Amino acid sequence: MANVTVVGSQWGDEGKGKIVDWLSERADIVVRFQGGHNAGHTLVIGNQVYKLSLLPSGVVRGKLSVIGNGVVVDPWALLAEIEVLRKQGITITPETLKIAENVVLILPLHGDIDRLREAARGDAKIGTTGRGIGPAYEDKVARRAIRLCDLAEPATLDRKLEELLLHHNALRRGLGHPEIDRAGLRAALDEVAPKVLPFAEPVWERLDDARRGGKRILFEGAQGTMLDVDHGTYPFVTSSNTVAAQAAVGAGLAPSATGYILGITKAYTTRVGSGPFPTELTDKIGQTLGERGREFGTVTGRPRRCGWFDAVMVRQALRVSGIRGIALTKLDVLDGFDELKVCVGYQCGTEVLNHFPAGMARQAQVKPVYETMPGWKTSTKGARSWVDLPAEAIKYIRRIEELIGSPVALLSTSPERDDTILVQDPFAD
């Protein structure tokens, strides 16, 4: 049986939470491999809604859940999320949740500098969540970050705090803000250490043993491929690699362990925050998509920008991530439209492009080249087989498959877990 890696193929918010939950029942271990608590996954199980930011989606199913070394962890946010789930009847212990001992920690100073710099950008702001994810990754790459394992070594922690504060205090002075209270930060870390250290272990070893023992591992990505720091719409991206290749690096496994790569793909397009969005609709249609799809950020509550399906962008994401098949979500949001449009190319000056350009100026110039298709009046909400779908909906799906060069492996027709049509079983591949 194959392992499965789940990544978003757009700008995030594609409905990964439901699909990962659906797949997790057949997995033995669920692994988060990048991002932080800026990501949000919503799971609907019966009458209960679970909103996860940092924890792997498998926790609500009692699966062994792992936070890999590629994630940046705010220990206070983690404990708060665990407490929220406890009140919802989900108990999380060191037996059910494992965190890589070498994971980088997000400290309060990271959120501070994130928000200060974003405010200083004015109209040029990137649109971060202000939760410190980017600055934490910066410190990781600069080799001054505090890692989870450092909390168990007081002398190491003292030395690393000195180096970290040397950098951050200089930044704060430059922005006209007071320096960090070192004693207060150290006290906060000493207080949180015994609460989070029991979850720490060399998870790469556990995962490799599981792989060798034939266990099925589900790798859960956050955000989407076009938010990748290398391959996305830079600089309007997240601070980590969101492509499927990161699953191996961010979990500590060989690339061959990533298995079947499934791209979660919304039947239209959304984006949160700033950045280019060729198919964005600022009219009544865009408003309707947002209202029907309940397009508000799980973490921030910010309304998402909405637009038509962008086949050019998704095809590029599939090629970069090596996606084998897609899970098409929120098809039911398109019910009732007289016609639908799909972006099949980009007009950029006198050129027609078949990919997203890398330069900021050219990205801003891009205009969509549309293909128009008939809509459907019959509801697709809750459909659980192809025969339940109107002919026009099937034609829309087939045309998307042609344009992106990948088959639909799963089709989601509502937030409910069981309203899913299985076409190709990723775990059986």
Q: Which residues are catalytic?
A: 13, 41
Could you give the residue ranges of the DSSP H alpha helices within 105-226?
108-121, 133-141, 154-174, 182-196, 203-212
Nearest to 281 by CA among 347, 365, 361, 341: 341
Nearest to 223 by CA among 317, 111, 91, 340: 317
Rg (CA), the chain: 22
Structure tokens at 242: 């969101």
Contact partners, residue 84, CB within 8 Å, separation at least 6: none
Q: Are 178 and 172 in contact (CB under 8 A)?
A: yes
Distance CA 227, CA 12 (A): 7
> What residue type is assigned to position 258 of the chain?
T
- Three-state SS across 217-242? EEEECCCCHHHCCCCCCCCCCCCCCC
Distance separating alpha carbons of residues 410 and 27, to the nearest angstrom: 16
Query: 3-state SS of 74-98?
Result: CHHHHHHHHHHHHHCCCCCCCCCEE
Residue 244 has phi, psi (to 5 degrees) of -60, -30
Q: Angle at Cα 299 formed by Cα 297 and Cα 203, nearest 5°?
A: 125
Q: What gap in Å lies between CA 398 and CA 407, rounded to an integer?
A: 8
SS3 label, residue 152: helix
Helix (H) or strand (E) holding 263: strand 260-266
Round to whole Å and give the CA distance between 331 and 309.
11
Cβ-count burial 62-100 (b if 16+ within 10 Å, e if not): ebbbbbbbbbbbbbbbbeebbeebeeeebebeeeebbbb
Residue 211 DSSP SS3: helix
Tokens 């946010």 correspond to: 77
Residue 10: closest CA among 426, 412, 310: 310
